[in-house]
């Protein structure tokens, strides 16, 4: 639950602070977590993952609500639940990369 909640909060920040496009939002999260910009191939993979997740969660809003309700923090109400769920999937992917900068 902690990692899902962290990914959700990061997704909400990416939507608010990352710019208007999916590429800029994914790049924002990538730079925050990996301390570098994504290579074009990496951005393509993550953008495709976002699009698949958006299709899934737009078709099943209940699944989107279930994913975004994990954790104790309040859910962002200023973004659509399907968009938040899709970006949560992408941010979770970034958080789980071996290259992600973390502290022990």
Q: What is the pLDDT of residues 6-17, one digit of tens each?
A: 999 999 999 999
Taking the CA of residue 41 as centre, how many other CA atoms within 13 Å lie in the half-sphere pointing to its CB?
0
Spell out the alpha helix ranges (H) of the chain. 2-17, 22-34, 40-59, 61-68, 81-95
Each residue's pLDDT tens digit in the chain (104 positions)?
Answer: 999 999 999 999 999 999 999 999 999 999 999 999 999 999 999 999 999 999 999 999 999 999 999 999 998 888 999 999 999 999 999 999 999 977 66
**pTM for the predicted model, two decimal places:** 0.94
Residue among 25, 77, 85 at smallest CA distance from 54: 85
Q: Measured between alpha carbons, how far is 50 from 48 in angstroms, rounded to an integer?
A: 5
């Amino acid at each position: 639950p902690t990692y899902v909640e962290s990914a959700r909060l990061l997704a909400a920040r990416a939507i608010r602070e990352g710019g208007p496009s999916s590429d800029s939002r994914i790049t924002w999260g990538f730079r925050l977590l990996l301390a570098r910009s994504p290579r074009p191939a990496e951005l393509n993979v993550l953008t495709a993952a976002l699009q698949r997740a958006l299709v899934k969660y737009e078709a099943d809003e209940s699944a989107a609500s279930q994913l975004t309700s994990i954790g104790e923090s309040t859910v962002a109400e200023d973004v659509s639940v399907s968009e938040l769920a899709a970006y949560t999937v992408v941010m979770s992917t970034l958080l789980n990369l071996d290259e992600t900068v973390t502290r022990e």
